[in-house]
Amino acid sequence: MLVIRNISALYPCDRRDEAPVLGAWIEIESGRIKAVGKEPYPGADAHRSVDARGKVALPGLINMHHHFFQSLTRVIPTGMFAHAIEWLRAMYPLWQEIDAQALHAACQLTAAELLLTGTTTSIDHAYLYPAGQHDLMDTEIAAVKPLGLRIHAIRGSAPRLEGTIEHDLAADPRLAAISLVEDDDDIVAACERALEQHHETGPDSRVRIGLGPTQIPYRNPGLVRRLQALAEHTGCDRHTHLTPVPADLELCLQLNGCRPTEHLRRIGWLAPRSVLAHCTRHTAEDIASIAGTGGAVVHCPSQNIRLGTPVGPIPEMVRAGVPVAIGVDGAASNDGGGILTEMRLALLMHRLAGTHDDYGPEQWLKPQDILWMVTRGAAEILGRPELGHIASGKAADIVLVNLKQVGYAGGLHDPLACILMSADTAMVDTAIVGGDIVVEGGELRTASAARIIDDANRESARLIRQSEARTGIPFNSLAPRLAEMI
């Protein structure tokens, strides 16, 4: 048995509007929370214990959108000053080079970063399988498992590329060999195989598989039907981006007679455990299409700012009863993976003048609303009531944030608001997953962070060298030189 003692402030997420419990303890046994109470702890002192004096305890945070493979391609100079389509066009020649060795390094790096910053369960929307490497998901699972992160790995797919990118790449002789699109049979077979091999259904599961293309292919309803049938049959997660560029919006209107969100509602794609990422261009009509279906939206604030998207109608969705979660998104468009940072931005960015009608200080999202989105709210979307809640019988996924830091001092008035609004750091002190301490004193315990950093820098530099050699396009990257110097 493990006991966390002397917790200065505990937010169990019993209710949305709760005040913290000051001076608390948590008993953990066999991966589950056995009991929670206020000090003094009535049990024997012989148990293994963690002293959490000066720390805030939160349920393990749930990150609902990511692309792990992108972690080797943060801050690529040629993609740093571009909207989404131009950014993707700059990134695809680099992502074409990803192989099992690079993906292993990227996934270990991502899992380490997520755990160190408080995420204990994460979705990975893994949609890119370059050059016919359909089974790269095996590599991902093998890389993530030893680090201890719970993962919902979405066996995504790219049945086509966004906007005119496919056409643009084919028209450029340097890029014509890029092969990122999979055909329908390969996609469905890979989803079936990933579900068969890796999908764990029990309440303590560390690996779950889901499916969903990176975007809905409106000209290919057959693939969407097949994926939907597989999701309904297995009860797995569904996940896709939904921020149609104007041409895709027009195409959907023309082919289906309605807007994309309404189309997804009509075909039954929107359902419990179905998640739409971003939705930054959603109208009141789109919000009405999602509300009540069980489908949910993931808000990724840093990605919105980085790529210069519109500010999505998140408060409006919350008001309409749409389940909203928070995601860090891939590290090529964030470029960090800390969920606390996203929580801070989700709390603050919608207050900007001119972003929302009828959103005055009385309506502003509160720190408790944001915490709920990454705990109980996200767990409900995933259909996992055992997550996101510090209570007897729930999974022992817990993070401790150290309040005794310079950037938090003077802010003890409201510890949760202090963590989210002061944001001295995105790192947590301790992360526990299923009763296992995976981060302690701000250090990863399940693997060598130094080795993960070296592997990631080496593989990132290799991707640059290979892509430049293959395409002749310079990325203006210092990584190949610096990776050997640090």
Question: Within 371-430, which residues bind Zn ion (CB under 5 A)?
Answer: none
Q: Residue for token digits 């089974």? A: 135
d(CA 242, CA 247): 13
Smallest distance from Zn ion to CB 307, Å? 10
Question: Within 329-348, which residues bind Zn ion (CB under 5 A)?
Answer: 329
d(CA 213, CA 127): 7
Quick one: which segment of 219-227, 328-336, 381-389, 395-403 binds Zn ion (CB under 5 A)?
328-336
Smallest distance from Zn ion to CB 296, Å? 15
- Please name which of 109, 113, 102, 112 lies closest in space to residue 139, comparing C-alpha atoms: 102
Nearer of residues 27 and 329 to Zn ion, judged by Cβ: 329
Q: Residue 4: which residues within 8 A CB-CB, separation 6 or more?
A: 25, 26, 28, 49, 50, 52, 57, 398, 400
Quick one: which segment of 108-116, 321-329, 387-395, 416-424 binds Zn ion (CB under 5 A)?
321-329
d(CA 474, CA 76): 11
CA atoms within 13 A on the CB side of 253: 8
Nearer of residues 331 and 400 to Zn ion, judged by Cβ: 331
Work out the end-to-end distance of the chain between its first and last CA atoms, rounded to an integer number of angstroms. 42
Nearer of residues 280 and 425 to Zn ion, judged by Cβ: 280
CA atoms within 13 A on the CB side of 445: 13
Nearer of residues 237 and 329 to Zn ion, judged by Cβ: 329
Smallest distance from Zn ion to CB 126, Å? 11
β-partners of residue 38 are 24
Nearer of residues 329 and 342 to Zn ion, judged by Cβ: 329
Smallest distance from Zn ion to CB 280, Å? 12
Smallest distance from Zn ion to CB 277, Å? 5
Three-class secondary structure assignment of 147-216: HCCEEEEEEEECCCCCCCHHHHHHHCCCCCCCCCCCCHHHHHHHHHHHHHHHCCCCCCCCEEEEEEECCC
Quick one: which segment of 15-23, 166-174, 322-330, 437-445 binds Zn ion (CB under 5 A)?
322-330
Nearer of residues 329 and 397 to Zn ion, judged by Cβ: 329
Nearer of residues 329 and 380 to Zn ion, judged by Cβ: 329
Smallest distance from Zn ion to CB 427, Å? 23
Smallest distance from Zn ion to CB 110, Å? 13
Smallest distance from Zn ion to CB 65, Å? 6
Write b or e for each residue in 317-342: b if 16 or more Cβ atoms lie within 10 A of its Cβ, otherwise e. Answer: bbeeebbbbbbbbbbbbbbebbbbbb
Quick one: which segment of 87-95, 249-257, 304-312, 325-333 binds Zn ion (CB under 5 A)?
325-333
Token pair for residue 200? 């764990």
Smallest distance from Zn ion to CB 385, Å? 26
Site string for Zn ion, 202-241 (x = CB under 5 A): ----------------------------------------
Using alpha carbons only, how large is the chain's radius of gyration in Å? Answer: 22
Smallest distance from Zn ion to CB 130, Å? 17
d(CA 195, CA 297): 23
Nearer of residues 5 and 278 to Zn ion, judged by Cβ: 278
Q: Residue 181: which residues within 8 A CB-CB, separation 6 or more?
A: 158, 159, 160, 161, 166
Count residues near Zn ion (CB under 5 A).
Answer: 1
Quick one: which segment of 21-29, 89-97, 324-332, 393-401 binds Zn ion (CB under 5 A)?
324-332
Nearer of residues 10 and 277 to Zn ion, judged by Cβ: 277
Nearer of residues 64 and 209 to Zn ion, judged by Cβ: 64
Q: Let me know: does 244 contact 252? Beta carbons within 8 Å.
A: yes
Smallest distance from Zn ion to CB 423, Å? 23
By beta carbon distance, the residue nearest Zn ion is 329
Quick one: which segment of 51-59, 105-113, 229-237, 327-335 binds Zn ion (CB under 5 A)?
327-335
Quick one: which segment of 165-173, 308-316, 317-325, 326-334 binds Zn ion (CB under 5 A)?
326-334
Nearer of residues 70 and 430 to Zn ion, judged by Cβ: 70
Which positions lie near Zn ion, rule CB under 5 A?
329
